[in-house]
């Protein structure tokens, strides 16, 4: 496909199997409207890419930061592979111009689109791995994602809201926060969750997200504000 040859050139990729690259951008909604398309949707590639992404980043952190403990390395890795970071990188690399979506999904922006972009980034990593192996994945991830790490460390943005709220809750209230899913809705490929965070029996705040982890993070952010512990 001409469009994807432009994508390859822009990102310095060279696929032997062009179908793998195309498939990485196929959202399941597209196949609902185009059942004869001939390629599968990208969720299996996303599953594979998620594991490759985590391995590449884990190996890099382990080798480059020998004096840091497991907890710190885990925080840095989480900051690199979370949906917000993957979405930011995907947007900057122009993924939106190549997504294969249904007409309805094309109109949806906001968090729904962010979720799709993050998943597509992982699917692309899976496609690169199947097409060319580990080394090109390593090069790609270091160039476009791990290059963000110095900024993350300097700004301390790896300190996620859940960790912050837990530290504050244990210090100020002597309680460890508990998270509970209070509502979930939507189709399997676009399920949404509402999670409440509790300190003991007190419900402090709620958060929504396209995964339980995202909803917990949003609940923690809201709880920090509610308790005036955000500073």
**Is 184 annotated as a binding-site member?**
no
Alpha-carbon distance of 45 to 120, in angstroms, equals 9
Alpha-carbon distance of 18 to 66, in angstroms, equals 39
**Is 46 annotated as a binding-site member?**
yes
Q: 153 with 65: CB under 8 angstroms?
A: no
Alpha-carbon distance of 197 to 156, in angstroms, equals 24
**Is 119 annotated as a binding-site member?**
yes
Phi-psi label, residue 161: left if phi above 0, alpha if psi -120 to 50, beta otherwise: alpha
Catalytic residues: 50, 122
SS3 for 45-79, per residue?
A: HHHHHHHHHHHHHHHHHHHHCCCCCHHHHHHHHHH
Q: Which residues fall in the annotated binding site?
A: 46, 119, 122
Q: Which residues does the annotation place in the binding site for Mg(2+)?
A: 46, 119, 122
């Amino acid at each position: 496909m001409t469009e994807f040859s432009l994508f390859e050139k822009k990102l310095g990729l060279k696929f032997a199997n062009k179908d793998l690259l195309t498939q990485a951008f196929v959202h399941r909604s597209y196949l609902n409207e185009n059942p004869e398309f001939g390629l599968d949707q990208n969720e299996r590639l996303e599953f594979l890419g998620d594991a490759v992404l985590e391995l590449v980043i884990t190996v890099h952190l382990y080798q480059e930061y020998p004096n840091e403990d497991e907890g710190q390395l885990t925080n840095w890795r989480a900051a690199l592979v979370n949906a917000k970071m993957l979405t930011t990188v995907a947007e900057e690399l122009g993924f939106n111009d190549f997504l294969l979506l249904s007409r309805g999904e094309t109109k949806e922006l906001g968090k729904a689109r962010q979720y799709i972009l993050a998943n597509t980034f992982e699917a692309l990593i899976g496609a690169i791995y199947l097409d060319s192996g580990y080394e090109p994945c390593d090069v790609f991830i270091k160039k476009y994602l791990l290059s963000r790490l110095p900024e993350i460390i300097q700004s301390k943005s790896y300190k996620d809201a859940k960790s912050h709220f837990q530290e504050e809750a244990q210090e100020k209230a002597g309680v460890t926060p508990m998270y509970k899913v209070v509502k979930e809705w939507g189709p399997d490929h676009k399920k949404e969750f509402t999670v409440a965070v509790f300190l003991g029996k007190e419900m402090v705040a709620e958060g929504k997200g396209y995964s339980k982890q995202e909803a917990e993070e949003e609940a923690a952010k809201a709880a920090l504000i509610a308790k005036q512990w955000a500073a």
